[in-house]
Amino acid sequence: MPGSFRIGTIAGIDIYVNFSWLIILVLLTDSLASGWFPSAYPGQTLVTYLLLGFISAILLFVSVLLHELGHSLVARAQGLSVKSIVLFIFGGVSNIEQEPRTAGGEFWMAVIGPVISLAIGGIAYGFFVLASGSKSALAAILMYLAAANILLGIFNLIPGFPLDGGRVLRAIVWKVTGRPTTATQVATFIGQLVAYLFILWGILQFFSGNPLGGIWLGFIGWFLLTAAQSVRAQATYDTLFKDVTVSQMMNAHPMTVPANISLQKLVDEYFLPQGLRSALVMQGDILAGLITLSDIRHVPREEWPQTPVGFVMKSVDKLHVVSPQQNMKDVLVLMNGRDVNQLPVVENERLVGVLSRDAVIRSLEVRQRLGLRQVRTDEESQSQGPREEHKDQEPHAV
Ligand SMILES: [Zn+2]
């Protein structure tokens, strides 16, 4: 997610905070300080209320983080690789690079989040009961945490993608029908329905004297809708690319440049005339690396004539390479997960082509316009061995 900064690492998982989270931190602190605390803990100064609001907002986000850690750790226990957790305006996202391999795996991975939220809510409520003899600051914080976490748990159990409940539903449909694709369609359909209901609710709130709440609900609806649609698109994508290999999509005549020419020559003779943004660098017959516009930009212009390409390029050991026989579905996971725009295709240590994101997107458009779809059904593909439904990091929203 752009605009995110890392705040630490828990159990080997990088934790990021997005700038949009700071907006919600301010809004939440303000609304708690002006609404909840003056009624739950009356007679204090504004500064006290702001401080209590801030502490509660931070504790709520710790709760969200624990919810996400639940998803991530269950995913990792299943052997899936977890890249990071990002906290942002609508809560948290666990970036899990692969999809669970079984319906049961998906079920546990999804359900753990709401279970953790409900548990935190229950524990906070328990302490609230113990502390509620007096109208204290602690009791007010605990009551807020209890209510917020229980709401969070219930909200996430709504059975529409991308909410956890949608994943639980998907796991159940998958288990019952044995068809993961059907399960995705059902869960994303209900997810879109839920999203439209939120938007509708937001519009009603907006026109009935609660404009801010209305806008907020509308935004949540819009976020859910975008996520549900992108998962749906990804499912289509998987179907389209099911039996396609890298060799069918790669450019077999990639643009290459020698490692020993200068940056000046590279720009004047290759990049400018051909409008290139990047090129593979060769040392004789061997792939040595990749040079991109941003690599060149990092070198001051007056040094271009003396700087060889080989000094500036990203060397081959830092590049992801693929083989021509690899399945496009797996390669797309790699491209999206690592956010790379092109991959060198290598066979027996020789460069045989390059696979670029642009080419994949163009090919996808052509296939869709021609109505070319793979006709194999789930049952057929399942008979060929264990099935992996790869999807690109579906967000586990809040
Ligand atoms: Zn969740």
Tell me how far the alpha carbon of residue 267 lies from the centroid of ligand 1, in angstroms: 48
What distance, in Å, lies between the first and last C-alpha atoms of the chain?
15
Residues within 5 Å of ion ligand 1 by Cβ? 113, 164, 396
Detail the residues annotated as belonging to a binding site for Zn(2+).
Answer: 67, 71, 164
Catalytic residue IDs: 68
State how far the Cα of 360 lies from the Cα of 338, in Å rounded to an integer. 16
Tell me how far the alpha carbon of residue 218 lies from the centroid of ligand 1, in angstroms: 20
Tell me how far the alpha carbon of residue 148 lies from the centroid of ligand 1, in angstroms: 14
Inter-CA distances, 90 with 17, 19, 79, 220, 227, Å: 12, 12, 27, 7, 12
Phi, psi of 88, deg, nearest 5: -145, -170
Inter-CA distances, 8 with 15, 76, 84, 388, Å: 5, 18, 10, 31
* Domain chopping of the chain, boundaries: 4-240, 246-361
Specify burial of residue 52 (Cβ count, 10 A radius: 0-12, 13-18, 19+): buried
246-361 folds as: CBS-domain (3.10.580)
Contact (CB, 8 A) for 47 and 72: no
In sequence order, which residues have a C-beta less than 8 Å from that of residue 116 and are 6 or more positions away?
Answer: 66, 67, 70, 153
Q: Tokens 């990071």 map to which residue?
A: 84
Detail the residues annotated as belonging to a binding site.
Answer: 67, 71, 164
Instruction: Decide: helix, strand or coil at residue 284.
Output: coil
Tell me how far the alpha carbon of residue 305 lies from the centroid of ligand 1, in angstroms: 53
Per-position pLDDT tens, the chain of length 398: 678 888 888 888 899 999 888 888 898 899 888 888 888 888 888 898 999 999 999 999 899 999 999 999 999 999 888 888 988 877 788 888 777 889 999 999 999 999 999 999 999 999 988 886 667 888 889 999 999 999 999 999 998 888 899 999 999 999 999 888 888 888 889 999 999 999 999 999 999 988 888 988 898 889 888 888 877 777 776 777 777 888 888 888 888 899 899 999 999 998 899 888 888 999 887 888 999 888 899 899 999 999 999 999 988 888 888 898 888 877 877 777 666 778 889 888 788 888 888 888 787 777 777 766 543 333 333 333 333 333 333 444 44
